[in-house]
Amino acid sequence: MGVTEDLADALAKDVIEAEKKLGLEEGALTNEISTVIGASSTTTQEAFLTAMRVRRAEQRARKYLEAKLAGNDDDLPSVPDTADLIETSDH
């Protein structure tokens, strides 16, 4: 990754940890930090928001996988129907 993406990803990781440490709802600090970044650099802001989405998606997927492997089907969140979003070789 480039400098912008590396810095934004490191910040995203720190913000997620800070939200947990401070007991904040997911996204509460994210929005504030995004606004601060956006005032100086919209490019960095977009990289930060992308890094946040990627990290949060990975966390959700990992949690789902861990519950699935543990056989805790009752704890599994519903899976959205994304069949229309996935390209196949038939197209």
Q: Where are the domains of the chain?
A: 3-75
Label residue 48 exposed, middle or buried (CB < 10 Å: 0-12, 13-18, 19+).
buried
CA 57 to chain centre: 5
Residue 78 or residue 28, greater confidence: 28
- For the beta carbon of residue 19, count every other beta carbon within 10 angstroms: 17
CA distances from 6 to 12, 14, 25 (A): 10, 12, 25
Nearest to 27 by CA among 18, 39, 36: 18
pLDDT digits (tens, 9 = 90+) for 30-75: 999 999 999 999 999 999 999 999 999 999 899 889 888 988 777 7
pLDDT digits (tens, 9 = 90+) for 7-32: 999 999 999 999 999 999 988 999 99
